[in-house]
């Protein structure tokens, strides 16, 4: 008898009809002889509505109250699904996070899970019940309601899977799985059968918004196999799992892009110790996340530095850098919000040479100028003008033969 965690996203529980369908799916799993724990999101759009309500009352809502409010969407769906299950003869019980004891730290709106009490759940499972848990929410050690950040019910599901040592954590969503790239901009995008945790982390943080990044970190840490699949079909989706030999044989697994960044350049800062420390110290104190950083020292004793920040923080960051630039005696500061980052990802890169040069050649053949480059063991990222994003993604997808039936595996 296996233990299966099934998480259904907002679009899967968006209407009463859909909730009834989810109930049928859960019963099918149960009828295979498995124990099932269901983790739910709020109905589509519900959390956004709650956020807007808070913003109507206050520009800076108190975070504790904000969490009390936005966590309510999930309480609606768990109750409705439990009723729907009971209605078709399946014993079920709903649990809020405080009833399960999903203990988090006290960082409201972005809390981290510290511990999960599994007693209640285990008892119900042994009695043959389906357990339905509210995703996205937690409770701190003082009993305050917390939330895990937008998209956080993925993390709830994976954490519960880890705590209960489940056999698999299935993430049911409105897409068929993880694709080689965004199918909305590249019609040749192909569904991947398997992807490693590290590749998925790159894909998730770079804009393939299928799974909350933190859920993948959790899955990696506790070796939880995650199966991303569609609620609306029985097709196999994509398994996010440990790296294996087969994955390494393919140099590139996917192309991701991110249009949500902007770049800032500080020009000709005197080249001496402490410049980067001061600049990035101030930026981080303002809670702005810096992604890529490129620094170059020229022969005349000056440094140019270019880095990227989330587009939402661009104005704030630019003002800060302009001010600091004066203090650091820089020649000037420029910025550009119309950029995007395109990344080629694959664990196979560790053992295949020439990936970066293929990326550069492909972009240059399309006349696309590369403004910044950064690489890691399993990725090559280029910052380009935003208007070329789609073209870059499509031509790179072709260049690495990622389309249907095109996969070129090396004989091992
Ligand atoms: N309902 C929450 C949100 O919309 C959590 C989730 O769906 O994962 O962000
Ligand atoms: Mg989601």
Condensed to tens digits (0 to 9), the pLDDT of residues 209-257 reads: 789 999 999 999 999 999 999 999 999 999 999 998 888 888 899 999 9
Closest Cα to residue 7, out of 176, 153, 195? Answer: 153
Query: For position 412, what pLDDT does the model report?
Result: 36
Q: Is the CB of 151 within 6 Å of ligand 1?
A: yes
Q: Is the CB of 10 within 6 Å of ligand 1?
A: yes
Give the mutation target among 8, 135, 138, 157 for probing the ligand 1 site: most ligand atoms within 8 A of CB: 135
Q: Is the CB of 136 within 6 Å of ligand 1?
A: yes
Query: For position 151, what pLDDT does the model report?
Result: 95
Q: Could you tell me which residue, 280 or 246, shows the higher pLDDT?
A: 280
- Neighbour count for residue 330 (Cβ, 10 Å): 23
Query: For position 207, what pLDDT does the model report?
Result: 66
Q: Is the CB of 42 within 6 Å of ligand 1?
A: yes
Q: Is the CB of 41 within 6 Å of ligand 1?
A: yes
DSSP H or E segment with residue 270:
strand 261-270
Q: Is the CB of 78 within 6 Å of ligand 1?
A: no
Between the CA of 52 and the centroid of ligand 1 the distance, in Å, is 14
Condensed to tens digits (0 to 9), the pLDDT of residues 86-133 reads: 999 999 999 999 999 999 999 999 999 999 999 999 999 999 999 999
User: Thinking of the domain 3-174, which architecture would CATH place it in?
Assistant: 3-Layer(aba) Sandwich (3.40)
Structure tokens at 93: 């019980």
Least confident of 95-104, 199-208, 320-329, 364-373: 199-208
Query: For position 33, what pLDDT does the model report?
Result: 96
Average pLDDT over residues 187-204: 93
Between the CA of 134 and the centroid of ligand 1 the distance, in Å, is 10
Q: Is the CB of 150 within 6 Å of ligand 1?
A: yes
Query: For position 299, what pLDDT does the model report?
Result: 80
Angle (nearest 5°) at CA 380 between 158 and 237 = 35
From CA 201, how far away is CA 211, in angstroms rounded? 9
Instruction: Name the strands in the sheet holding 238-241, side by side, starting at the edge strand that comes first in the sequence.
Output: 92-95, 130-134, 35-40, 3-8, 168-173, 226-230, 238-241, 194-196
Burial of 107 (0-12, 13-18, 19+ CB in 10 A): middle
Between the CA of 168 and the centroid of ligand 1 the distance, in Å, is 21
Condensed to tens digits (0 to 9), the pLDDT of residues 11-61 reads: 999 999 999 999 999 999 999 999 999 999 999 999 999 999 999 999 999
pLDDT surpasses 70 at 411: no
Between the CA of 48 and the centroid of ligand 1 the distance, in Å, is 9
Between the CA of 141 and the centroid of ligand 1 the distance, in Å, is 23
Beta strands in 87-244 (DSSP E): 92-95, 102-104, 113-116, 130-134, 137-139, 145-147, 168-173, 194-196, 226-230, 238-241
Give the mutation target among 152, 157, 159 for probing the ligand 1 site: most ligand atoms within 8 A of CB: 152
Average pLDDT over residues 336-358: 95
Give the mutation target among 39, 41, 113, 156 for probing the ligand 1 site: most ligand atoms within 8 A of CB: 41
Q: Is the CB of 152 within 6 Å of ligand 1?
A: yes
């Amino acid at each position: 008898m296996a233990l299966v965690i099934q998480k259904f996203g907002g679009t899967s529980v968006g209407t009463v009809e859909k909730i009834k369908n989810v109930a049928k799916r859960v019963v099918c799993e149960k009828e295979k002889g498995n124990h099932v724990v269901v983790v739910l999101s709020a109905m589509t759009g519900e959390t956004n509505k709650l956020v807007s309500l808070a913003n109507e009352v206050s520009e800076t809502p108190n975070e504790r109250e904000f969490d009390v409010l936005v966590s309510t969407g999930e309480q609606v769906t768990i109750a409705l699904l439990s009723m729907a299950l009971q209605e078709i003869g399946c014993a079920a019980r709903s649990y809020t996070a405080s009833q399960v004891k999903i203990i988090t730290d006290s960082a409201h709106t972005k809390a981290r899970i510290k511990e999960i009490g599994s007693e209640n759940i285990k008892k119900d499972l042994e009695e043959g019940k389906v357990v339905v848990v509210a995703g996205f929410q937690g409770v701190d050690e003082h009993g305050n309601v917390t939330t895990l950040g937008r998209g956080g019910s993925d993390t709830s599901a994976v954490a519960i899977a880890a705590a209960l040592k489940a056999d698999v954590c299935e993430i049911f969503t409105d897409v068929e799985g993880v694709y080689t790239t965004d199918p909305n901009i590249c019609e040749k995008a192909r569904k991947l059968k398997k992807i490693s945790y590290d590749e998925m982390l790159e894909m998730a943080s770079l804009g393939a918004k299928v799974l909350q990044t933190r859920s993948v970190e959790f899955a990696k840490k506790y070796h939880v196999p995650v199966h991303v699949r569609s609620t609306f079909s029985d097709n196999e989706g994509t398994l996010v799992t440990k790296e294996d030999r087969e994955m390494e044989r393919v140099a590139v697994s996917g192309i991701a892009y991110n249009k949500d960044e902007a770049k800032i350049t500080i020009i000709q800062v005197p080249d001496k110790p402490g410049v980067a420390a001061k600049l990035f110290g101030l930026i981080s104190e303002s809670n702005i996340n810096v992604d890529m950083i490129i620094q170059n020292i020229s022969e005349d004793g000056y440094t140019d530095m270019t880095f990227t920040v989330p587009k939402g923080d661009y104005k704030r960051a630019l003002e800060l850098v302009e001010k600091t630039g004066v203090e650091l005696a820089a020649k000037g500061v420029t910025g550009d919000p119309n950029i995007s980052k395109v990344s080629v990802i694959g664990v196979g890169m560790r053992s295949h040479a020439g990936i970066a040069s293929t990326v550069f050649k492909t972009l240059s053949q399309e006349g696309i100028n590369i403004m910044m480059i950064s690489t890691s063991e399993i990725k090559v990222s280029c910052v380009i003008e935003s208007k070329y994003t789609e073209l870059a993604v499509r031509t790179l997808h072709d260049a690495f033969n990622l389309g249907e039936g095109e996969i070129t595996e090396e004989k091992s």
